[in-house]
Amino acid sequence: MSSATRKSHWAGSRAQSGFTLIEALVTAFILAVGIMGIVSLLSLSKVSQHESIQRTRAVVLADDILERMRRNPAGMSVYNVGLSAPLGGASRGTEPVPNCQSGTCASDELARYDLWAWERLLDGTSAIVTDSGASTVGVRNVRACIDFTADVGRQNTGIVDVVIQWQGLQETADAVISGGTLCGGATDSDATRRQVILNSYIRDERDEMES
């Protein structure tokens, strides 16, 4: 093989090797972009799943306290904490006495016990991860209000609104529209605020007997 032929063959091999390296770099870049896209999609999916779980929990918890009030309408004056004194963050303190799960209670005593037990469900203090001590079933940074409006001439019969507000993981839009119901009196706009409001008609038969 002549010197010119060897030089041409060597130059062609070097050019081919360089082209292969560029292909590998482009392929690696495309693969990296694809992996980043998949990771981002998985992250968004987890956030969406968390938001859905939190909303479902809020609805279930709101229904729970409504059922407690339906069973004990005579304690409505205690259940009616209003919009300025929200539950959440262990605001109810220690367990009330007597324990209405193991003993007999008057209507007001049962209502106080219900509020304490319900707040524990809101905060997630009824289920704790042993290793980290983190709540696994509570609603994130929750505030809950119960607002009762009695019918004319009735004491414990009327419309009750259960308002549960919590903090989402990402900013979207404030769940409380301008002029909407605020639980706890927080007036500043909060793009991470989420909200569920359930209302129901509570009827106390004793109201009708007394009228």
Res. 87 pLDDT band, cuts 50 70 90 = very high
The whole domain housing 30 covers 3-210
Task: Name the average pLDDT for the chain.
Answer: 83
Owner of token pair 């106390």: 204
The partner residues of 160 in beta bridges, in order of sequence, read 148, 200
Q: How many helices (H) and strands (E) does the chain have?
A: 4, 4
Closest CA to 89 of 54, 124, 59, 113: 124
Res. 10 pLDDT band, cuts 50 70 90 = very low
Closest CA to 164 of 104, 95, 86: 86
How many independent structural domains does the chain possess?
1
**Of the candidate ranges 34-43, 107-116, 191-200, the one whose mean pLDDT is the lowest:** 34-43
* 52 has pLDDT over 80: yes
* 191 has pLDDT over 90: no
* 104 has pLDDT over 70: yes
Res. 25 pLDDT band, cuts 50 70 90 = confident
Tell me the pTM. 0.76
